Amino acid sequence: MAGAIEVRGLVKRYGELSAVAGVDFSVASGTIFSFLGPNGAGKTTTVEILEGLRHATSGDVRVLGLDPWHQGAELHRRIGVIPQDFRFFDKITPKEAVEYYRALFHTKVDPKALLGLGVGAEDDIENRRTHHDSEPDHDHDDFESFVVPIPEVGDPARLVQRIAVATEAADVLRVKGFAAVTGKPLRLLVQAVGPRVTHQYDRPWMAAEARHGRLVVIGLKGLNRTAVESALLD
């Protein structure tokens, strides 16, 4: 019996660069499957091909028996994907979000049932406390963000180290963005939450793009911008 995912001889090239070089694997229905490997190994590219977001150079790919590239519309109605940097629209309610995605994917799920509305839980709200109830009030005015332009780097590990140093500042909450690496045709995505920094290559630089990076720094109001920029650009 065919698996939920079947991949045979998958190849993805960008010019002379092979992002994926002859991958074969099968995922059975009802199982959990994870990709493990170093940055630049082709994990993200493979997943995006499975989702129908990128076209394979060669090989055969089937998800739920469908070709993701040529039958993407049908496939997207049957799968769910949460991107790494997913976020809802600003100022949208949970009910509006469910209704929007329900319409987008032509599903019939009832937003009230999914959100638990009308089942009586709201009548007992005072007895349903969360850890947030004991926290001091705050809003978006408590935070600020700014962008730091990053010149092309020769050593990604050195950039990661600089980001880790910058996040040690007491008021820095998150750093995210991308950089150009000398000799690499792909952008390097970087993200830090506290001292934990992750990075991976995502897509080729476009011909019209300047090979300059940008890092967005998010922190508490009043963070020392000069010190953070100095750490990132050291």
Question: Do 58 and 153 sit in the same domain of this protein?
Answer: no
Question: Do 12 and 104 sit in the same domain of this protein?
Answer: yes
Say if 121 falls within a structural domain: no
> How many domains are contained in the chain?
2
Rg (CA), the chain: 22
Question: Do 149 and 68 sit in the same domain of this protein?
Answer: no
* The pLDDT value given to residue 132: 47
Say if 84 falls within a structural domain: yes
Q: Buried b vs exposed e over 116-128: b needs ≥16 C-beta within 10 Å?
A: eeeeeeeeeeeee
pTM of the model: 0.48
* The pLDDT value given to residue 115: 64
Query: 104: burial class by Cβ within 10 Å (0-12, 13-18, 19+)?
Result: exposed
* The pLDDT value given to residue 170: 61
* The pLDDT value given to residue 166: 86
Query: Can you read off the two tokens belonging to residue 32?
Result: 């959990």
Sequence-distant (≥ 6) Cβ neighbours of residue 49 within 8 angstroms: 10, 12, 20, 55, 56, 61, 68, 69
Q: Are 10 and 61 in contact (CB under 8 A)?
A: yes
Say if 163 falls within a structural domain: yes
* The pLDDT value given to residue 28: 92
Q: Are 44 and 62 in contact (CB under 8 A)?
A: no
Q: Is the pLDDT of residue 214 over 80?
A: yes
pLDDT in tens, 17-53: 888 999 999 999 989 998 888 877 888 899 999 999 8
CATH code of the domain containing 28 = 3.40.50.300
CA end-to-end span of the chain: 56
**Spatial distance between the Cα atoms of 90 and 131, rounded to a whole number of angstroms:** 24
Question: Do 176 and 229 sit in the same domain of this protein?
Answer: yes
Q: Which domain holds residue 46?
A: 1-93+100-109
- Of 229, 213, 203, give the one whose Cα is nearest residue 154: 213
Q: Is the pLDDT of residue 57 over 90?
A: yes
- Of 151, 214, 207, give the one whose Cα is nearest residue 181: 151
Question: Do 61 and 15 sit in the same domain of this protein?
Answer: yes
pLDDT in tens, 157-199: 899 888 988 887 767 888 888 999 999 999 998 888 877 888 8
Question: Do 86 and 147 sit in the same domain of this protein?
Answer: no
**Spatial distance between the Cα atoms of 232 and 226, rounded to a whole number of angstroms:** 10
pLDDT in tens, 77-122: 888 887 776 666 767 777 777 777 777 766 777 766 666 665 554 4
* The pLDDT value given to residue 1: 43
